[in-house]
Chain A
Amino acid sequence: EVQLLESGGGLVQPGGSLRLSCAASGFSFSSYAMTWVRQAPGKGLEWVSGITGFGSGHYADSVKGRFTISRDNSKNTVYLQLNSLTAEDTAIYYCARPYSNSYFDHWGQGTLVTVSS
């Protein structure tokens, strides 16, 4: 069974940093790209970042230069480093698995990031 378990969310001050983790199990992790999608309170879904199985990352313009995606295939884990956070980054951050670099067939339960002083 595919499982994705996010962690690392919490309350952080504006300008601060946080590292999110997503531990994957139940599939051949290194063979899949991985993605982060976020959802601000009461709002819709926003694609944030994706990383190929080889480690090449892509970003939404809204986070480019501030967020960094990475993965450790030996630990079956994908990370999202969040820097220079603002209130607009407050959201639930979901880890999702893209099937064949297309649709997201599995999602984690999400981890909440709150940026506030």
Chain B
Amino acid sequence: EIVLTQSPDFQSVTPKENVTITCRASQSIGANLHWYQQKPDQSPKLLIKYASQSISGVPSRFSGSGSGTDFTLTINSLEAEDAAAYYCHQSGTLPQTFGQGTKVEIK
């Protein structure tokens, strides 16, 4: 099983700051890494597919990068509505797995 380790687990951020969340895979997964946002009491929402590809309707302040084992989600100029948990997910190998999540709080 491929283990995805996110860091940090929690981040408290002031609006307009930039946020960086990393996801490290226990073995190479190419670009089969996707990012989701989950707000309280809501279902997860796809943010980034295949490590760096944008999703229609997602604000351009969200971007992704990386390949192989190291990946990054960046939120540029954080807004209050970005308070949520963020998860990475690998689809390249069964069983598919998620990172443990990163909770972003707005100061």
- List chain A positions with a Cβ less than 8 A from chain B: 35, 37, 44-47, 50, 58-61, 94, 98-99, 101-105, 107-110
Question: Which residues from A are CB-within-8-Å of B32?
Answer: 102
Q: Is the CB of B100 within 8 A of A44?
A: yes
Question: Which residues from A are CB-within-8-Å of B38?
Answer: 45
B91 at the interface (CB under 8 A from A): yes
- Nearest CB of chain B from residue A11's CB, rounded to whole Å: 20
Q: Is the CB of A44 within 8 A of B99?
A: yes
B68 at the interface (CB under 8 A from A): no
- Contacts A103-B34, A103-B50 given; does A46 touch B98 at CB 8 Å: yes
Question: Which residues from A are CB-within-8-Å of B45?
Answer: 107
- List chain B positions with a Cβ less than 8 A from chain A: 1, 32, 34, 36, 38, 43-46, 49-50, 85, 87, 89, 91, 94-101
Q: Is the CB of B46 within 8 A of A104?
A: yes
A112→B36 CA distance, assembly (Å) = 21
A23→B95 CA distance, assembly (Å) = 24
Q: Which single member of A94, A103, A107 contacts B91 (CB below 8 Å)?
A: A103
Q: Which single member of A45, A50, A102, A107 contacts B98 (CB below 8 Å)?
A: A45
Q: Is the CB of A45 within 8 A of B49?
A: no
Q: Which residue of A lies closest to B91 (CB)?
A: A102
Question: Which residues from B are CB-within-8-Å of A94?
Answer: 43-44
A93→B46 CA distance, assembly (Å) = 17
Question: Which residues from B are CB-within-8-Å of A102?
Answer: 32, 34, 49-50, 91
Q: Which residue of B lies closest to A59 (CB)?
A: B95
Question: Which residues from B are CB-within-8-Å of A104?
Answer: 34, 36, 44, 46, 89
